[in-house]
Amino acid sequence: MYLIVGLRNPDKKYEKTFHNMGYIAVGDAAEILGAKFKKKECEASVAEAFVGGEKVIIARPLTYMNNSGRAVKQLMAKYKIAPENLIVIYDDYDLPKGKIRIRAAGSAGTHNGMRSIIGETGLKEFARIRVGIRDEEANIPIIDYVLSEVRKDDYQLFADACRKAGEAAAEFAKGTRIDLVMGKYNA
């Protein structure tokens, strides 16, 4: 069983912000896997897919970003998800806008949602897909930037990046080893 989680802030006012890249990307993953978000459980909106007889849970935490770990911890416990079958998609200020980077493990970096997940689960050894959001021209504090809306002229760039992240997560959930997913999408 696999768990794909896309981080975000739940309020409508944050819908078009940089901090919601994970939310958008898991929507793409759900579409690729033929799943619809139909239920709420474990502080998350959840979709279920079946790939080769294997259940895939796709989740969008309903908590604020800084508490994302609560939902991930509950989902992992409920569905008995092994750490090697968890993948988290989120925005990353440390990567240039529109780039994606996949890693098999790591630290939280500057991301509070990832700090929450690592803090709640005690894990660092799980896959993650980072969607780059940094704009070299933006000269505002990180907290203000991640909560600001994506500029209209950048919309397609981010839509494409989220789609690519969703495709990578779907491939992982289909049983492709994370190193192979990394080799394909980090190129």
- How high is the pLDDT of residue 136? 78
Catalytic residue among 8, 9, 18, 19: 19
The CATH number covering residue 19 comes to 3.40.50.1470
Task: Establish whether 111 is a catalytic residue.
Answer: no
Question: What is the span of the domain harbouring residue 13?
Answer: 2-185
- How high is the pLDDT of residue 146? 83
CA distances from 26 to 11, 138, 139, 143 (A): 17, 27, 29, 23
Helical spans, DSSP H, in 84-177: 112-121, 142-146, 155-173
How far apart, in whole angstroms, are the C-alpha atoms of residue 122 and residue 144?
28
DSSP letter at 17?
B
Taking residue 10's Cβ as centre, other Cβ atoms within 10 Å add up to: 16
- How high is the pLDDT of residue 84? 96
CA distances from 3 to 17, 92, 113, 140, 155 (A): 24, 20, 16, 34, 27
Each residue's pLDDT tens digit in the chain (187 positions)? 999 999 999 888 988 998 999 999 999 999 999 999 999 999 999 999 999 889 999 999 999 999 999 999 999 999 999 999 999 999 999 899 999 999 999 998 889 999 999 999 999 999 999 999 988 777 788 888 888 889 899 999 999 999 999 999 999 999 999 999 999 999 7
Kindly report the pTM of this predicted structure.
0.95
Number of structural domains, the chain?
1
- How high is the pLDDT of residue 138? 76
How far apart, in whole angstroms, are the C-alpha atoms of residue 23 and residue 91?
10
Position 32, amino acid:
I
Instruction: Report the side by side order of strands in the sheet with 127-134.
Output: 37-41, 44-51, 54-61, 2-6, 86-96, 127-134, 100-103
